[in-house]
Amino acid sequence: PSIATDGSGGFVVAWSFDSGPPSQARDVAYRLFAADGTARSDATIASPSRTGNQDGAAVAMRADGSFAIAYVVGAGGDQLVLRRFAPDGTPVPNPLNEESVFTAPAGSTISDVSIAATTPGHFAVAFGYGSIGSGAVGLRIVDAVTGMRSGVVLVDEDVARTATEPSVAALPGGGVVVAWQAFGGGGTVGTDVRAREFDASGNADGPSQRINRHTPGDQRNPSVTAAAGGTIRVTWDGES
């Protein structure tokens, strides 16, 4: 499941589930709640007109209560789409609105989707994709009203590294920070956690930085947050 809050404490939960017979597929659903935990809506399918698997749901919410859900579709898990909703849960601008964020190259699948609502009214979607033994992390900025704002940006400037498990958070001023798990490049043994900042248009603000000081063993599953003053915090699982 994925959860996001608005400016008054209300929140939305999105999740993927097995829909059961007759389709035996996976669907994505969401439900709105007030700040006290009272449900404001029923559980609702995010894209009722779509058939086949829908998985890997990630949700972000703006201060006004509008929100967006990013999820993976396609028989091979090779398409990432985003759907935007009004504060009352109504799809924007119509029931068929499902925007394509990324289509993976042949033989690749998409995983580890993360999304954040940024201050200018955009959504930032980070995602991992690749095949066995390889992987990259992409970032795309989506305008909350008009749709795609940037092209797909590779977050790791070193293509010799394998990048997976992204987490994205909004920064003051409209930028975002992405953290991810990285393997290889520069003779590193095991995996590291790296992070990199981007502006509101998806342009990188300098090179990535290794976050973990402890280098032996694997450092993985990062989660990044950013405070109102711009302080960035990253947590992850590590081996001692």
Q: Are 123 and 117 in contact (CB under 8 A)?
A: yes
The predicted pLDDT at position 22 comes to 62
The predicted pLDDT at position 24 comes to 61
Task: Give all strands (DSSP E) within 184-231, no chain letters.
Answer: 191-198, 209-210, 219-226
The predicted pLDDT at position 44 comes to 95
Residue 62: closest CA among 119, 15, 103: 119
The predicted pLDDT at position 149 comes to 81
DSSP state of 156: -
The predicted pLDDT at position 115 comes to 98
Residue recorded with tokens 């999820």: 71
Neighbouring CB atoms inside 10 A of 89's CB total 18
Query: Which tokens is 142 given?
Result: 């989506």
The predicted pLDDT at position 208 comes to 96
The predicted pLDDT at position 20 comes to 72
In angstroms, the CA 116 to CA 38 distance is 24
The predicted pLDDT at position 94 comes to 55
In angstroms, the CA 91 to CA 74 distance is 21
The predicted pLDDT at position 188 comes to 57
Q: Is 215 left (phi over 0), alpha (psi -120 to 50) or beta?
A: alpha
- pLDDT by position in tens, the chain (length 240): 999 999 999 999 999 998 776 666 889 999 999 999 999 999 999 988 777 889 999 999 999 999 999 999 987 788 999 999 999 999 987 544 678 899 998 889 998 999 999 988 899 999 999 987 689 999 999 887 777 788 899 999 998 899 999 999 999 989 999 999 999 865 556 899 999 999 999 999 999 999 998 878 899 999 999 998 889 999 999 986
Q: Are 76 and 96 in contact (CB under 8 A)?
A: no
In angstroms, the CA 195 to CA 206 distance is 11
Taken in order 40, 11, 119, 68, the sign of the CA dihedral is: negative
Q: Are 68 and 81 in contact (CB under 8 A)?
A: no
H helix or E strand, kind and range, residue 175: none
- What pTM, to 2 d.p., does this model score? 0.91
In angstroms, the CA 5 to CA 98 distance is 22
Residue 189 CA to its chain's centroid (Å): 27
Secondary structure string (H, E, C) spanning 81-136 = EEEEECCCCCEECCCCCCEEEEECCCCCEEEEEEEEECCCCEEEEEEEEECCCCCE
Residue 77: closest CA among 149, 127, 133, 21: 127
Q: Are 68 and 82 in contact (CB under 8 A)?
A: yes
